[in-house]
């Protein structure tokens, strides 16, 4: 067991994957000598060489498209997209090629790509550096979409993603890169596609993932001080969503709050609210509540505190789910 930051835990996951399987190759912009702009790949090119850790030209479609060809050749490429907002130039290769090739070829061609994407806000960045584009990919059949919230999960989920025979969009919560935690490099994590109940509770189920798991835990602690018992579920997997775990929790608590940084409309929260309403209609004491980023482009850094769900907005959502006095009290539906 070693204490590592989440970024270092990802780096150690990549190192293990490179050591364990010679078909694993890394490619991306600035991942070599620089070690990536967040230093996640620090030292890997030095230790594994330029054929295994490839600095590429600055072109996202090129990175993903070349990885597709490497996968045809039997490699397991791990692509680094430098920032969330830069993934769009590679979008066609991801959703039209990577996602569909296994289906298109009747299972003959496997696409064991891992596409790493530092995502989310809260670091005071400029535009295109704080986005949460996960819903685009969760909407696309053929892709698995996951995100981590702890150093241990970062390490084991990344190794699991690389070992997966399916393509995985691996979203890394960049504002949690410096969060420290114990990491057991030999631990076998929860299977891909499963959620985790982080804190048990009885009054409200609070579903979240990635960067907001820590915020949700703070909110649950604050709620506990007011005598409200909040169960926090870390989804971990956004495609598929582990609806069994979420349903079991909602059947216990009867109330559901979902929070994510991505904009509300068409987001994961909508999917979870709809599915849980379907599956747990007779258990629900109140309509599911969503606490999300607004339906606006990610705002300038000096406004992001208003855009990002924080502890107080989440608690306000908990109040709404419980029918307590809240920001909407007095509004007519």
Partner 1 sequence: MSTTVPVKAQNVAAEKPNPEFVQLLNAEGTRLSDDTYDPWVSDVTGDQLASLYEDLIIVRRIDTEATALQRQGELGLWPPLFGQEAAQVGSARTLRPDDFVFSSYRENAVAYCRGVALQDLVRVWRGTAASGWDPFSVGMATPAVIIGAQTLHATGYAVGCKNDGVDSVAVAYFGDGATSEGDVSEAMIFAASFNAPVIFFCQNNQWAISEPVGLQAQRPIAERAPGFGIPSIRVDGNDVLAVMAATRSALDRARNGGGPTFIEAVTYRRGPHTTSDDPSRYVDPVVAKEWEARDPIARVEAFLRSEGILTDELAASIQSRADQVAAEFRHGCISLQNPEPLSVFDNVYATEHSGIARQKSQYKAYLEGFEK
Task: State how far the Cα of 204 lies from the Cα of 221, in Å rounded to an integer.
Answer: 13
**Least separation, in Å, of the C-beta of 314 and partner 1?**
27
Which candidate in 102, 128, 129, 306 is catalytic?
129
Number of residues that bind partner 1 (CB under 8 A): 50
Which long-range CB contacts under 8 A does 69-74 form with residues at least 24 apart?
70/25, 71/109, 71/110, 71/111, 71/112, 71/113, 72/109, 74/23
Regarding 66 and contact with partner 1 (CB under 8 A), the answer is: yes
Regarding 104 and contact with partner 1 (CB under 8 A), the answer is: yes
Give the residue, chosen from 45, 147, 152, 164, that forms a contact with partner 1 under the rule CB under 8 A.
164
Regarding 139 and contact with partner 1 (CB under 8 A), the answer is: no
* Known catalytic membership, residue 129: yes
Task: State how far the Cα of 155 lies from the Cα of 313, in Å rounded to an integer.
Answer: 30
Regarding 333 and contact with partner 1 (CB under 8 A), the answer is: no
* Nearest CA among 22, 8, 1 for reference residue 187: 1
**Least separation, in Å, of the C-beta of 286 and partner 1?**
26
Give the residue, chosen from 48, 75, 119, 298, that forms a contact with partner 1 under the rule CB under 8 A.
75
**Which CB, 241 or 258, lies closer to partner 1?**
241
**Which CB, 28 or 201, lies closer to partner 1?**
28
Sole window of 48-56, 146-154, 175-183, 227-235 interacting with partner 1 (rule: CB under 8 A): 48-56
Sole window of 92-100, 147-155, 203-211, 213-221 interacting with partner 1 (rule: CB under 8 A): 92-100
**Least separation, in Å, of the C-beta of 193 and partner 1?**
6
Give the residue, chosen from 2, 105, 202, 265, that forms a contact with partner 1 under the rule CB under 8 A.
105
Task: State how far the Cα of 88 lies from the Cα of 84, in Å rounded to an integer.
Answer: 8
Task: State how far the Cα of 76 lies from the Cα of 252, in Å rounded to an integer.
Answer: 41
Angle among Cα 132, 269, 276 to the nearest 5 degrees reads 155
304 to 323, contacts with partner 1 by CB under 8 A? none
Sole window of 57-65, 121-129, 152-160, 301-309 interacting with partner 1 (rule: CB under 8 A): 57-65
Regarding 70 and contact with partner 1 (CB under 8 A), the answer is: yes
**Least separation, in Å, of the C-beta of 64 and partner 1?**
8
- List, in order, residues 6 or more apart from 174 with CB less than 8 Å away: 38, 118, 119, 120, 123, 211
Give the residue, chosen from 82, 149, 239, 249, that forms a contact with partner 1 under the rule CB under 8 A.
239
Regarding 227 and contact with partner 1 (CB under 8 A), the answer is: no
Regarding 247 and contact with partner 1 (CB under 8 A), the answer is: no
- Output Rg (C-alpha) for the chain, integer angstroms: 20
Task: State how far the Cα of 264 lies from the Cα of 287, in Å rounded to an integer.
Answer: 16
Residue carrying structure tokens 């996602």: 99
For 287-301, the three-class secondary structure string (H helix, E strand, C coil) is CCEEEEECCCCCCCH
Sole window of 8-16, 108-116, 248-256, 284-292 interacting with partner 1 (rule: CB under 8 A): 108-116
With beta carbons less than 8 A apart as the criterion, state whether 21 and 166 touch.
no
* Nearest CA among 266, 272, 8, 293 for reference residue 130: 293
**Least separation, in Å, of the C-beta of 305 and partner 1?**
34
Regarding 56 and contact with partner 1 (CB under 8 A), the answer is: yes
Q: Tell me which residues are annotated as active site.
A: 129
**Residues in contact with partner 1 by the rule CB under 8 A:** 25, 51, 54, 56-57, 59, 61-62, 64-75, 77, 89, 92-93, 96-97, 100, 102-110, 112, 141-142, 144, 164-166, 193, 239-244
């Amino acid at each position: 067991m070693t204490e590592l930051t989440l970024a270092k835990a990802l780096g150690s996951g990549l190192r293990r994957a490179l050591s364990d399987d010679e078909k694993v190759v890394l490619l991306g912009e600035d991942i070599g000598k620089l070690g990536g702009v967040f230093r996640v790949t620090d030292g890997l090119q030095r230790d594994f060489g330029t054929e295994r850790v490839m600095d590429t030209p600055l072109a996202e479609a090129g990175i993903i498209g070349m990885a597709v060809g490497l996968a045809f050749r039997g490699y397991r490429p791990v692509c680094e997209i430098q920032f969330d907002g830069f993934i769009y130039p590679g979008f066609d290769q991801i959703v039209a090629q990577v996602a569909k090739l296994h289906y298109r070829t009747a299972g003959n061609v496997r696409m064991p790509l891992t596409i790493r994407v530092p995502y989310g806000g809260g670091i005071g960045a400029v535009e295109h550096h704080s986005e949460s584009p996960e819903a685009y990919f969760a909407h696309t059949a053929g892709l698995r979409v996951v995100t981590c919230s702890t150093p241990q999960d970062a390490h084991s989920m990344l190794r699991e993603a690389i070992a997966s025979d399916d393509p995985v969009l691996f979203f890394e919560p960049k504002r949690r890169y410096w969060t420290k935690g114990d990491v057991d490099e030999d631990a076998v994590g929860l299977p891909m596609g499963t959620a985790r109940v982080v804190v048990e509770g009885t009054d409200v189920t609070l579903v979240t993932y990635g960067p907001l798991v820590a915020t949700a835990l703070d909110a649950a602690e604050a709620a506990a001080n007011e005598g409200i018992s909040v169960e926090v579920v870390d989804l971990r997997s956004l495609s598929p969503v582990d609806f069994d775990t979420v349903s079991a929790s909602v059947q216990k608590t009867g109330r559901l709050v979902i929070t994510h940084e991505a904009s509300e409309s068409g987001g994961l929260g909508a999917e979870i609210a709809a599915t849980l309403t379907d599956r747990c209609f007779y258990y629900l004491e109140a309509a599911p509540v969503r606490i999300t980023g607004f339906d606006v482009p990610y705002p300038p850094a000096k406004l992001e505190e208003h855009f990002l769900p924080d502890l107080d907005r989440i608690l306000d959502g908990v109040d709404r789910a419980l029918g307590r006095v809240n920001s909407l009290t007095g509004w007519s539906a």
